[in-house]
Structure 1
Amino acid sequence: MTMEIKSYQNQAELLLKEYLLGDSFMPYTSIVGAIFACKMVYDLTQLICTVHFKSFSSFSKIQRVEWSNRAVSTIHAIFITVMSLYFVFWSELFSDNQYGLITFRSSSLSTFILGVSVGYFLADLGMIIWFYPSLGGMEYVIHHLLSIGAVAYSMLTGEGQLYTYMVLISETTTPGINLRWYLDTAGMKRSRAYLINGVVIFIAWLVARILLFMYIFYHVYLHYDQVKELDACGQLLVCIVPIVLTIMNLVWFMKIIKGLTKTLAKRQ
């Protein structure tokens, strides 16, 4: 009996190592795994909030859906921000001191992490479309489609992963945005926490979605000789996607400034 269990264990480990985590299957494994993880976090959030928060049952159906959906969004944002910061600033993978063009560097880990992000964006886009427009309008659909296209291309080809991770650092603003919605839904719009959260969102957005993108454009300029080595699709994604996202970020930033100004004016 022990030998049979050991045999099954060895076969399972072989399957995991050579197929599910093999180079050719890894992207798809990470995507599918991320989608299942999103579903698990969503269901756990619904369960925990129903049991431990009495006011949760008084929310409307769409509020309960969005509450759990934002929990998934927050966890993904924290995870991808940490990993993106690691790859961009601490990992030797994209260091200028390493041999080879920086635009063509990738690793099994960097590809796997991008697959996780693709899985999340697919799951979240599905939710947005299913409940459209309750969870977000057309700007969210465009944002997610651009994100899926750029991240999936970088994941599957191994090209431009550095710039993909640079853009993904901007997800650091997501937890603050979600917390603001939580506070509003919980009736804490006039609390000090709501005001502090607004200030934090302003600073985080300025750094992660305005200044960071300026740095991305500067980095592309410095390494344009390497960017030109990408195929036409890769060059398009590296140059055009950040521009489109920058325009969207500026529009949202104006709304954040107006909202923060309005909140501060009410407290005077």
Structure 2
Amino acid sequence: MEIKSYQNQAELLVKEYLLADSFIPYTSVICGVCACKMVYDLTQKFSNIYFKSYPSLSKVQRTEWSNRSISTFHAVFITVMSLYFVFWSNLYSDYQYAGPVTFRSSALSTFTLGVSVGYFLADIGMIIWFYPSLGGMEYVLHHLLSVAGVAYSMLTGEGQLYTFMVLISETTTPGINLRWYLETAGMKRSTAYLINGVVIFVSWLVARILLFMYLFYHIYLHYDQVKLVHHFGLLLIFVVPLVLSVMNLMWFGKIIKGLKKTLAKRQ
């Protein structure tokens, strides 16, 4: 009876507080931060056991090794959820008559964005703490824009569709991280490294170039609904994707140069 009583109290706590609509943004952010910490610690333990080269890495390399596992975990999670909301869920469908698409949200969509906010906060904290070992000022700018856009969308419920469209671009992250792992393992001349470069090129073209073009086209088609958003939200809908698009094009240029160099060495 005592165990049953504790179980009922736990269920009540989860339903009435942790998963209550007003608490979801804060609960999800905490979950995101805790998940990052858990993945970071587990990566260190598993890497020590299963990767012989891991102990020989420098302290900075071991930190980046674990940090990239966090970003890979987040990328897989947010890509799957974003694809679901944008292309398979009816939440943002034009055929649903639930008001403007720019104001639609759900408990699940808000929780998902909160987890992403938790990741970006944890990651930018690590980037600043170890600056510039884990990334330069462009990474700080990228994460600050991401936190601003995702957090606003999470807290207000405005423009969540466009936030998820932007977050689909995280699908390129696992390939980028795998490239670093291959370089660290001394496999730059391997076939896996070449294939990885091609995959990065294709995924970047689709997820960070073509998809952003679709995003701006979608905004154009639904401008009568977009203009109803508050001024700050409107600013984020236009400015954040625009700045990220410029950064994506700059990085895409570097990817093309890197792929050409890799292919040239193979001839």
> So what's the TM-score if we normalise by structure 1?
0.98
Q: 1:24-39 residue pairs with structure 2 within 5 A?
A: 24-39=22-37
State the identity %. 78
What SS is found at the alignment partner of 2:94? coil
- Which residue number in structure 2 is paired with residue 94 of structure 1? 92
What SS is found at the alignment partner of 1:54? coil
Q: Does 1:173 align with 2:184?
A: no
Q: 1:110-189 residue pairs with structure 2 within 5 A?
A: 110-189=109-188
What SS is found at the alignment partner of 1:41? helix
How far off its partner does 1:53 sit? 1.5
Match of 2:15 among 17, 26, 45: 17
- Which residue number in structure 1 is paired with residue 206 of structure 2? 207
- Structure 1: gaps (5+ residues): none
Q: Does 1:190 align with 2:189?
A: yes
Identify which range, 227-236 or 47-56, moves more after superposition: 47-56
CA-based RMSD: 0.5
2-side partners of 1:69 and 1:154: how far apart?
A: 26
Q: Does 1:74 align with 2:72?
A: yes
- Which residue number in structure 1 is paired with residue 2 of structure 2? 4
**Cα deviation digits, residues 104-147 of structure 1 (max 9, x gap):** 00000000000000000000001100100000000000000000
- Letter of the structure 2 residue corresponding to residue 111 of structure 1: T
2-side partners of 1:244 and 1:176: how far apart?
A: 22
- Letter of the structure 1 residue corresponding to residue 154 of structure 2: M
> How many residues in Structure 1 have an aligned counterpart in Structure 2?
266
How far off its partner does 1:186 sit? 0.3
- Which residue number in structure 1 is paired with residue 43 of structure 2? 45
How far off its partner does 1:34 sit? 1.0
2-side partners of 1:135 and 1:5: how far apart?
A: 47
1-side partners of 2:202 and 2:52: how far apart?
A: 34
2-side partners of 1:53 and 1:208: how far apart?
A: 31
> So what's the TM-score if we normalise by structure 2?
0.99
- Letter of the structure 2 residue corresponding to residue 37 of structure 1: A
- Which residue number in structure 2 is paired with residue 250 of structure 1? 249
**Cα deviation digits, residues 223-268 of structure 1 (max 9, x gap):** 0010000010111011111000000000000000010011111111
Stretches (4+) displaced over 3 A: none
- Letter of the structure 2 residue corresponding to residue 95 of structure 1: S
2-side partners of 1:39 and 1:212: how far apart?
A: 31
What SS is found at the alignment partner of 2:22? coil
